Amino acid sequence: MGIVESMKASMLRQAGKYVGSLVRNSSTENIGRLFGTVAALTKEPTKSGLKKLTQMAKEEHPMIVSWQNVFKRSSPKAVEKAMTNLVVNEFALGEKIRQEKMLEHEVVIPKLVVISPTYACNLNCVGCYAGLYGRKYQLSKEEVSSIIRQANELGIYFFIITGGEPFVWPHLLEIFEEFNDSYFQVYTNGTLITKEVAKKLAELGNATFAVSVEGFEGETDWRRGRGVFNKIKQAWENLREAGVIYGTSVTATRLNHEVMMKDEFWQFLKDEGVSYAWVFQFMPVGMNPSMDLVPTPEQRYERFFKTEQERLGGDFAFVADFWNHGFLTNGCLAAGAKYLHVNAKGYVEPCVFQQFAVDSIREKSLL
């Protein structure tokens, strides 16, 4: 990176910190100002996306207002890292580096990397997609650090951590601390997020947590185990009190479809302070794969309209329904087009649900 580019990068990060300190107690104008500044210094297609967000901020779009509300109830460090690591490093600086590396190496560079550092888990959920991998497999701290370091060099600063249960892996918080200029989203069952853990996460600020839930207590405990629903609510409370940004992950099955269609369920999520929601359609892979849990075509069609209602309603920062919302990303993100998955055996898969691999990060570089 040249001197001029280095100065631009420094200015962007300072702008992110400055706006991050303002948006917690100010108007959407500050969010728009940051998006506009970053848009002017980045490349397409990120530039157009940020310009659109800038205009949305000026119009006080419900989604931007929702993010503003999220920031107001989050810790200062959580807001700062969302701005500097996610908006500036990943969207602005990262996009430029990724495009340069793509031209240099003549290969598509994904925007993010999904890592499963372990397949160990403290629960035994019905139909777990990762259930057949074997709980003994895990990556070492050095291997995960190497993957992230290589990804940073390619301009990737956004990582999704899944598993297994990520909090079973002993080095999770150490990785967040080591790579404090990257941003992490973690899929977790939430049962291991104590008040002490939540406090540490708030101090680090560079991770957000999608806590899995299946509906209300009956649906959740049937699939995840007795008492898990109440542990999830406790995890949300711990994260909320600490000021950590968090959301939820819901697996849509044939059995919980009716609950997911109810306004009461989505109101429950809002009341629990959930900022965003990922909806994943159950896939018959992994442990005891069964078509009995796969939603019917009619249910999937009906769910599309409900999740669209919630996505556009402005009560959440965002709602995304895999695979119903594929049109928003121009189709599938997998196989390196936008992301790839490094599993706990070190193998690189197209995505977590497409469990096929021929390459291992233990045998070659990420590139």
The DSSP string of 292-345 is: GGSPPHHHHHHHHHHHHHHHHHSSSSEEEEETTTGGGGTS--TTTTSEEEE-TT
- pTM score: 0.93
Domain that includes residue 309, residue range = 112-360
Q: Return the SS3 of 137.
A: coil
Residue identified by tokens 């929702």 is: 66
> How sure is the predictor about 83, in pLDDT bands with cuts at 50, 70 and 90?
confident
Q: What pLDDT was estimated at residue 115? A: 98
Q: What is the count of structural domains for the chain?
A: 2
The pair of structure tokens assigned to 338 is 């936008």
Question: In this structure, are strands 276-281 and 318-322 parallel, antiparallel, or unpaired?
Answer: parallel
> How sure is the predictor about 213, in pLDDT bands with cuts at 50, 70 and 90?
very high
Question: In this structure, are strands 276-281 and 246-252 parallel, antiparallel, or unpaired?
Answer: parallel
Residue 218 lies inside a defined structural domain of this protein: yes
- Whether residues 68 and 199 fall in one domain: no
- Whether residues 299 and 170 fall in one domain: yes
Cβ pair 233, 272 in contact under 8 A: yes
The residue that leads in pLDDT, 323 or 162, is: 162
- Whether residues 117 and 233 fall in one domain: yes
- Whether residues 142 and 282 fall in one domain: yes
- Whether residues 31 and 76 fall in one domain: yes
- Whether residues 201 and 346 fall in one domain: yes
Highest mean pLDDT, choosing among 40-54, 114-128, 184-198, 283-297: 184-198
Q: Is pLDDT at 10 greater than 80 in this prediction?
A: no
- The domain boundary residue, chosen from 54, 70, 105: 105
Please choose, from the candidates 267, 86, 105, the residue with its C-alpha nearest in 3D space to the C-alpha of residue 180.
Answer: 86
CATH number of 174's domain: 3.20.20.70
The pairs formed by 99-104 with CB atoms below 8 angstroms and a separation of 24 or more are 99/43, 99/155, 100/155, 101/154, 101/155
> How sure is the predictor about 23, in pLDDT bands with cuts at 50, 70 and 90?
low
The pair of structure tokens assigned to 235 is 């995890």
Q: What pLDDT was estimated at residue 15? A: 64
> How sure is the predictor about 32, in pLDDT bands with cuts at 50, 70 and 90?
confident
- Whether residues 277 and 243 fall in one domain: yes
Going 72 to 77 to 80 to 81, the CA torsion angle's sign is: negative
Residue 366 lies inside a defined structural domain of this protein: no
Cβ pair 63, 317 in contact under 8 A: yes
- The domain boundary residue, chosen from 105, 127, 152: 105
- The domain boundary residue, chosen from 105, 134, 166: 105
- Whether residues 48 and 137 fall in one domain: no
Residue 28 lies inside a defined structural domain of this protein: yes
Q: What pLDDT was estimated at residue 41? A: 74
- Whether residues 130 and 241 fall in one domain: yes
Please choose, from the candidates 75, 84, 98, 244, the residue with its C-alpha nearest in 3D space to the C-alpha of residue 179.
Answer: 84
Q: Is pLDDT at 133 greater than 90 in this prediction?
A: no
Q: What pLDDT was estimated at residue 297? A: 97
> How sure is the predictor about 1, in pLDDT bands with cuts at 50, 70 and 90?
low
CA distances from 14 to 179, 202, 212, 231 (A): 18, 20, 35, 38
